[in-house]
Chains A and B, each alone.
Chain A
Amino acid sequence: MFDIHPYSGKIDGRKHINADNIVKIEHDYANQDTIRYAFISDSQRWYDELDDFVKIVNKRNDIDFIVHGGDISDFGLTKEFLWQRDILEKLKQPYVALLGNHDCLANGEEIFEQVFGTVNYSFIAGKTKFLCLNTNALESDYSNPVPDFSFIEQERQKDTTRFEQTVVVMHARPTSDQFNNNVASVFQYSIKQFPNLLYCTNGHDHIYQEEDIFKDGIIYYGTPNIGKRQFLIFTITKDHYTHELVSY
């Protein structure tokens, strides 16, 4: 009823969602051989389409968790984060969200960190480590490392007994306008040091992409914006994966 300010940062409702949901994912799927998850991205201002996505996924019983590749808000408004969060909260399965470039507008990044959590994080589902990175370099400056190579190196050495393969998730992929393309090949080198890097996924470009960007066998899969009523489903088994573009 009362709106204090569009960028008030007044957060009502659930916070620290990623951390809580990661506990659930890691616990529920620790011993699962096959992991199947949905990857969506760029749902900013597409409230109806995101709501329909939730309904569609909730009808299925084969999706273990959902990953949102970022751009939850269009303008960085406090209310946008909360409106979108409330739709995602209706998901029966756990979900995690990444930071998009639009989410950095004004004080958006602070709000994202409160509602979802840190902008670089990881989780392990089955034997696969999902490395979720902030790649929105154009939104930042040199005082803030994007991508954060120290974090990447730390993650490479952490929980090595719990995972055998890796997937890297980001909002903006190397070669995009947001990525720090000066370090694109260094980035690719760093993530290939991880045990058995399977593939990478991204959002931001609002179209379906399937590209071996560095010509090294690692495919970057881009998911369309939710406004197109499409998303990706990945099925990971030991040392192998399949993917599917779903329309609804």
Chain B
Amino acid sequence: MNLFLTKSKIRSFALVTLFFSVHDMAQGAKNQYLPRTSLAGNKTDTLRENSIKTDSIKTENMSTKELKKTAFSLVPSSYMLQYAGSIGLLSAGTGWDYGRRKQWSTDFLLGYVPKYDTDRAKLTLTLRQSYTPWEIKLNKQFTYHPLRTGAYLNTTLGKQFWYKEPDKYPNSYYRFSTRLRINIFLGQDFSYKIKSNSSYFEGLKFYYDLHTSDLYLVSGVQNKYLKFDDYIGLALGVKLQIRRK
């Protein structure tokens, strides 16, 4: 892999480093500000303790609320691993689930493409937005989303890829980007809730996506020769859901 430090590579590495350091900070902040309540002790003691604590709890609760809000937007909901999806052989990342019914997800992934028959392996970055409108509880342990859909942007690192053709070309010579891809997908996911109440991860989620990209779509729809399975791909992934405190 060519580790030539170009401007765009530096930018991408800075972004990834910033993301991980902010994530670490948020984890630290979260651990520091969780309210500590004693479970042992008798009722009267607890009552007095509680009345003394009321004021401090009030202030502590306010700052906890604020921090929970902040922590909520920085601390991820899950870690994930994905196979294929036009973003790499294997990709790893984190996701944030939000919305009143947790129906929205934003994922960020780093993908690895082996070199195969080319001269170098490749790294990709993906930003994905998913929407899961319906949730079906099968039993205490299993739930599933019969539909997950959305889009993801993928960028490939490396000098042979560009957003816009270099200046040597006449204007609008190629009219597309070799570096940035927009993909759309439709899929489903299945969640399994871990039985423990204290494990770091509270569940496992398996998902699959049928996906295609702007270039595959443009190539596929304008002719009869190419069939769905030529330009629509299958991606498989697993998410480890982090326990929310």
Which residues in A have some Cβ–Cβ distance to B below 8 Å?
A: 1-11, 45-48, 51, 74-77, 79-80, 83, 87, 105-107, 110-111, 114, 138, 177
Once the chains bind, are B174 and A10 in contact (CB under 8 Å)?
A: no
State the main secondary structure of chain A at its contact with B: loop
Q: Is B13 an interface residue (CB 8 A)?
A: no
Once the chains bind, are B225 and A48 in contact (CB under 8 Å)?
A: yes
**Band of interface residues on B:** 35 or more
Once the chains bind, are B174 and A8 in contact (CB under 8 Å)?
A: no
Q: Is B32 an interface residue (CB 8 A)?
A: no
Once the chains bind, are A9 and B215 in contact (CB under 8 Å)?
A: no
Once the chains bind, are A111 and B118 in contact (CB under 8 Å)?
A: yes
Once the chains bind, are A3 and B225 in contact (CB under 8 Å)?
A: no
Q: Is B132 an interface residue (CB 8 A)?
A: no
Q: Is B83 an interface residue (CB 8 A)?
A: yes
Once the chains bind, are A51 and B215 in contact (CB under 8 Å)?
A: no
Q: Is B51 an interface residue (CB 8 A)?
A: no
Once the chains bind, are B174 and A9 in contact (CB under 8 Å)?
A: no
Determine which of A1, A5, A87, A114 lies in contact with B86 in the assembled complex, contact meaning CB atoms within 8 Å. Answer: A5
Nearest CB of chain A from residue B47's CB, rounded to whole Å:
62
Q: For the complex, what is the distance from the CA of A6 to the CA of B156, rounded to whole Å?
A: 10
Contact partners of A8 in chain B: CB under 8 A: 113, 116
Once the chains bind, are A2 and B84 in contact (CB under 8 Å)?
A: yes
Once the chains bind, are B226 and A47 in contact (CB under 8 Å)?
A: yes
Instruction: Enumerate B200-226 residues with CB–CB distance to A below 8 Å.
Output: 211, 213, 215-216, 218-219, 222-226
A-B contact pairs, 14 of them (CB 8 A): A1-B234, A2-B83, A3-B86, A4-B113, A5-B88, A5-B111, A7-B122, A8-B116, A9-B115, A9-B116, A11-B117, A45-B219, A45-B222, A77-B219
Determine which of A2, A105, A114 lies in contact with B174 in the assembled complex, contact meaning CB atoms within 8 Å. Answer: A105
Contact partners of A5 in chain B: CB under 8 A: 86-89, 111, 113, 122, 124, 156
Contact partners of B84 in chain A: CB under 8 A: 2-4
Once the chains bind, are A1 and B117 in contact (CB under 8 Å)?
A: no
Q: Is B161 an interface residue (CB 8 A)?
A: yes
Contact partners of A138 in chain B: CB under 8 A: 168-169
Which residues in B have some Cβ–Cβ distance to A below 8 Å?
A: 83-89, 111, 113-119, 122, 124, 156, 160-161, 168-170, 174, 176, 178, 181, 211, 213, 215-216, 218-219, 222-226, 229-231, 233-235
Contact partners of B111 in chain A: CB under 8 A: 5
Nearest CB of chain B from residue A36's CB, rounded to whole Å:
27
Q: For A82, give the chain B residue with the smallest CB separation.
A: B230
Once the chains bind, are B234 and A105 in contact (CB under 8 Å)?
A: no
10 interchain residue pairs of minimum CB distance = A9-B118, A3-B233, A47-B225, A2-B84, A10-B116, A9-B116, A106-B178, A47-B223, A5-B113, A48-B223
Determine which of B117, B161, B222 lies in contact with A111 in the assembled complex, contact meaning CB atoms within 8 Å. Answer: B117
Nearest CB of chain B from residue A83's CB, rounded to whole Å:
7
Once the chains bind, are B85 and A177 in contact (CB under 8 Å)?
A: no
Once the chains bind, are B117 and A9 in contact (CB under 8 Å)?
A: yes
Once the chains bind, are A11 and B225 in contact (CB under 8 Å)?
A: no
Determine which of A1, A74, A79, A87 lies in contact with B225 in the assembled complex, contact meaning CB atoms within 8 Å. Answer: A87
Contact partners of A87 in chain B: CB under 8 A: 225
Contact partners of A111 in chain B: CB under 8 A: 117-118
In the complex, besides A5-B111, A7-B161, 4 extra interface pairs with C-beta distance below 8 angstroms are A1-B229, A5-B87, A79-B216, A83-B226
Nearest CB of chain B from residue A103's CB, rounded to whole Å:
12
Once the chains bind, are B223 and A46 in contact (CB under 8 Å)?
A: yes
Q: A3-B86, A45-B222 are in contact. Are A177 and B170 (CB under 8 A)?
A: yes
Contact partners of B181 in chain A: CB under 8 A: 6
Contact partners of A75 in chain B: CB under 8 A: 176, 178, 215, 219
Q: For the complex, what is the distance from the CA of A47 to the CA of B114, rounded to whole Å?
A: 29
